[in-house]
Structure 1
Amino acid sequence: MSTSGSSHSSRAAKKVVVLDYGFGNVRSAERALARAGADVEITSDFDAAMNADGLLVPGVGAFAACMQGLKDARGDWIVGRRLSGGRPVMGICVGMQILFARGIEHGVETEGLDEWPGSVEPLKADIVPHMGWNTVTAPADSELFKGLDPDERYYFVHSYAVHDWSLETANPVMRAPKVTWSTHGEPFVAAVENGALWATQFHPEKSGDAGAQLLTNWIGTL
């Protein structure tokens, strides 16, 4: 009796939904996640998004438009429900920014999902947008950047960022969030690992082999 190939088929790929709410590079995210070994679906279907092993929330464009699109697709409710049950969510670019309390663009303040305190505000730099490859400074115990060279570069495209991190964990049972930083004109938050909620300001799906390894690290935690 042959058992050839059974060891490869015994472990099912993790199911990851890329939330399709009209604001994000969903196809490039799909390709990158598939490359990292996930079973990927692009959808705004509520049940599919709720039941997946992981939910990826992309985002491009303006903060206010992304928030409106997310609400129209019930994405705000999906993210909140998943996190209340400890189910993994990852945000990318503006998909990270909307996880904060508010975004301020052209003097207009828009409420975010308020999973983390803080404001997304314009980058103060000689050249904006911050577009291209940049290094990051990750905590030594980061799971997201595990196995990656500290000098590795990641691909950024943004004009706004979070410049202050104010969330502290008073409960000794809870692990403190792991915050990764980068600098363009001034320091800004480049990534966060906070329980079931992870996010990156840069685009891992456009960051070559390093981005693929980072996504593999996330999928490995699902």
Structure 2
Amino acid sequence: MNLISLQIETLEDFDKNLENFKSLIISSKENSLIVAPELALVGFAYNKMEEASLFSIKAINEIKELSENKIIAITTIVKENEKFYNRLFIIFNKNIVHTQDKIKLFPLGDEDIYFTPSKENNIKIIEINGLKIATLICFELRFPALWEQIKGADIILNPSMWGIKRKDHYETISKSLALVNQAFVVASNSANSNMARGSAIISPFGNLTKDDNKIVLETKFDKDEIIKVRKYIDIGLTTL
């Protein structure tokens, strides 16, 4: 399994964002897990939420067709019952295998004004081909209680749109999550000019694959690293 963190810009043009994302999916190896930054296709489109939600339907359908032998994690704007949600889709083999609405909305970015938080506690570990995968969306990184809910995951995904002023926070918390939960963390942050970048793939031992100048960060997933660290520092996490 290849772990891929994308560090890409989100443009005003939804179609260009989608074409760029699709080209990156196509160029990735089979048996890859690909994580895009938060709302990578539409951004926080507060002035055109309806348009963004309609575009998202088309986008998810097109991404599904490219997901054979690839796991793709993407968040986008969804409208249901006249409310808008920041929703994660995990897609594998042309099927949506998991959805998860953002629970913790970032008030300084007005997310709580435009989005509805998830009413269900749908942050959980899912299993794909024997891999235990969980996701925290951007600001949710800051809540240790959520870390507890995903203990035992092999891989923790973090799609983010994290601001440049808190770059050190993002990088420190992402690494801490890998160390505390003894898991691989795939942190994918926006490359927009006002964003922190700082994307990384972090091993359970805290080893980093990181480069703020790269669009694609990639490394191999090694289950043995998880087994070793959990035996070495036994905090009660299962490995199977």
Considering the TM-score relative to the shorter chain, is it more than 0.5? no
TM-score by length of 1: 0.41
TM-score if structure 2 supplies the norm length? 0.39
In our comparison, the structure showing a higher alpha carbon Rg is 1
- Decide which structure has greater helix share: 2
